[in-house]
Amino acid sequence: MQGRVRHGGDRVPTSDIPSPTPAPAPSTGLVPGSASPWPAGVTPTGEYEAALDYARGGAGHLFVTGRAGTGKSTLLRCLRDSIAAETVVVAPTGLAAVNVGGQTIHSFFGLPPRLIRPDDIRRSRNGRVMRRLEILIIDEVSMVRSDLMAAIDQSLRLNRGRPREPFGGVRLMLFGDLHQLPPVVQEAEVASYLESEFGGPFFFSVGALREGIGTGLLELSEVFRQSDQTLLRVLNRVRDGDAGEEDLQILNERVHPIRTLGEGEPYVILTPTNAAAQRINLAYLDALPTAARTYEAGMTGEFNASAQPTDQILTLKPGAKVMLLRNDPDRRWVNGTVARVSRLTERQVWIEVDGREYEVEPASWEQRRYAFDQSAEKVVETVAGTFKQFPLRLAWALTIHKSQGLTLDKVYIDLGRGTFAHGQAYVALSRCRTFEGLALARPLKPTDILFDASVMGYRDIFPRLV
């Protein structure tokens, strides 16, 4: 048995290396027959066009980041749907994978949900998929720790039989914002290992991203969520750890006791902990004098609990404040719209949005996997399981983490004893469209705005595209 290499190197267990498979000819042009890569409703910016040109050109890996509300998810979907290449989409969490129509990183690569060491890298059941793979898209890459990114590199080298090429010759397209969702490192021993092995916990610490074809950086700058320039300037300083006394004074003008906001206002309370959000939601639900009904989700195949977009057993009452979790095909609401339950029957739910009543139909979510179709000689998506439930969630309160990616009209931020992670305050503040829609339970303190300056390291590593 040959020796194994440290994560940063270019060797893998040589006894496990399959015969090198010739790489398929690059095919990163547009999908055949598509007149435009941009779907209806998407007006491409110059930055979007630069991303597409870079992706089609096959020049290197791509890291797309940017402030909250700059359209990272929209750009990901556009690139995924328009590039004619063997592509796999993965994400670090089950819910993120479901939302992007992909598979979790750990599931696709067969990795354990813990600190990953060199001995964990083995031949994968997805080996044939990996050998055909041309582009790997990773969403929420900011949550990917350095040990996981290194494992992706080593697994692709091993399973593609190309041990001396970073990521086995596969191109990466990475999407995420380290200022919002940093990787989770709770144990001091793990932090020490990541520091000594890679130089830190962040994905960009892995040397393979700088080797070979390298990685281009695209930092989206045009914010679509907010247009208030004062709010944008304050948010940008909070994001970059530069918020001063004047910024806190501006934000603290929005301190209001919740009772003064009015029950009819669609404020969503954002709180740092899941326990606090659950406590608030149950208290408001129990206080309603109306009768409760429960709705059990229908599930088929394999669908992980962590990927469920709402409760498997959903309890509702007329008058309950809820959030819609899917865009409506008829555009009556969007993902994140806050509504009130108006009527309930054993199998039907009606809501009120902007004074109008609508029936909400159950929605289905799919947990996907990738497989190699031998007859078609290509990588295909398969459905591992489905989750069918009313696309609703109690919405008096949400955790800041679960609000990530949402655009809300009315936000009430209750930090309680304070934030406990880098970027939490920025995520909470940046959910709201307008300064007038923002309210705080108490004045913000400098200690509420936690910032880890080491997240800025990617700017010194990856060359900018524009």
My answer on whether 295 and 424 are in the same domain is yes
Contact between residue 92 and residue 143 where contact means Cβ atoms under 8 Å apart: yes
Q: Name the 3-class secondary structure at 194.
A: helix
Q: Do 161 and 238 belong together in one domain?
A: no
Between β-strands 349-353 and 392-394, what pairing exists: parallel, antiparallel or unpaired?
unpaired
Q: Answer for the pair 396, 208: CB distance below 8 angstroms, yes or no.
A: no
The predicted pLDDT at position 18 comes to 47
* Residue 373 in domain: no
* Residue 328 DSSP one-character state: -
Residue 145 maps to a domain:
yes
Domain-embedded: residue 463: no
Structural domain ending residue among the three candidates 223, 257, 282: 223
Same domain, 179 and 272: no
95 and 47 within one domain: yes
Q: 197 and 249 share a domain? A: no
Residue 201 located in a structural domain: yes
Q: Can you state the percent helix, strand and coil of the chain, rounding each to 5? A: 30, 25, 45
CA 464 centroid distance within chain: 22
List residues bridging with 308 in a β-sheet.
none
Structure tokens at 245: 């006394």
Question: Which is it for the CA torsion 188, 193, 198, 204, positive or negative?
Answer: negative
> Would you say 198 and 454 are in contact if contact means Cβ atoms under 8 Å apart?
no
Among candidate residues 169, 197, 223, the one where a domain is terminated: 223
Per-residue pLDDT of the chain (466 residues; tens, 9 = 90+): 333 333 444 333 333 434 444 444 344 455 544 556 777 677 788 899 999 888 888 779 999 999 888 999 989 999 888 887 889 999 998 888 988 889 999 999 999 989 999 899 999 888 899 999 999 999 999 999 999 999 999 999 999 999 999 999 999 999 999 998 788 888 899 999 999 999 999 999 999 999 988 899 999 988 888 888 889 999 999 999 999 999 999 999 999 988 777 655 678 999 999 999 999 999 999 999 999 999 999 999 999 888 899 999 999 999 999 999 998 988 899 888 999 999 999 999 999 998 999 999 999 999 988 887 877 777 888 899 999 999 999 999 999 988 888 888 899 999 998 988 899 999 999 999 999 999 999 999 999 999 999 998 999 989 888 7
pLDDT of amino acid 10: 36
Q: What is the CATH number of the domain that holds 194?
A: 3.40.50.300
One domain, residues 158 and 240: no
Provide the whole-model pTM.
0.83
Q: What are phi and psi of 81, to 5 degrees?
A: -80, -15
- Element holding 321 (H helix, E strand): strand 321-324
- φ and ψ of 131, to 5 deg: -70, -25
Tell me whether residue 244 is in a domain. Answer: yes
pLDDT score recorded for residue 449 = 94
Burial level of 171, CB count in 10 A (0-12/13-18/19+)? buried
The CA–CA distances, whole Å, from 225 to 197, 325, 340, 428, 439 equal 39, 18, 24, 14, 17
Contact present, 318 and 342 (Cβ < 8 Å): yes
Q: Is residue 70 part of a domain?
A: yes
User: 370 in a domain, yes or no?
Assistant: no
Residues 269, 256 contacting (CB under 8 angstroms): no
Same domain, 191 and 264: no
- Are 190 and 52 within one domain? yes
C-alpha of 117 from chain center: 25
Q: Name the residue range of residue 22's domain.
A: 14-223
* 384 domain residue, yes or no: no
pLDDT, residue 264, reads 53
Residues 338 and 236 in one domain: yes
Give the per-residue pLDDT at 332.
92
Domain count for the chain: 2
Residues 132 and 212 in one domain: yes
Please tell me the distance from the alpha carbon of residue 379 to that of residue 373, in angstroms, as a whole number.
6
Torsion of CA 49, 50, 55, 56, to 10 degrees: 60
Residue 323 contacts residue 393 (beta carbons within 8 Å): yes
Q: Do residues 101 and 168 share a domain?
A: yes
**Which of these three, 223, 256, 285, is where a domain ends?**
223
What Cα–Cα distance (Å) separates residue 96 from each residue in 30, 38, 140?
A: 26, 23, 7
* Residue 46 sits in the same domain as residue 186: yes
Q: What is the pLDDT of residue 184?
A: 85
| R_g (Cα) of the chain, nearest Å | 23
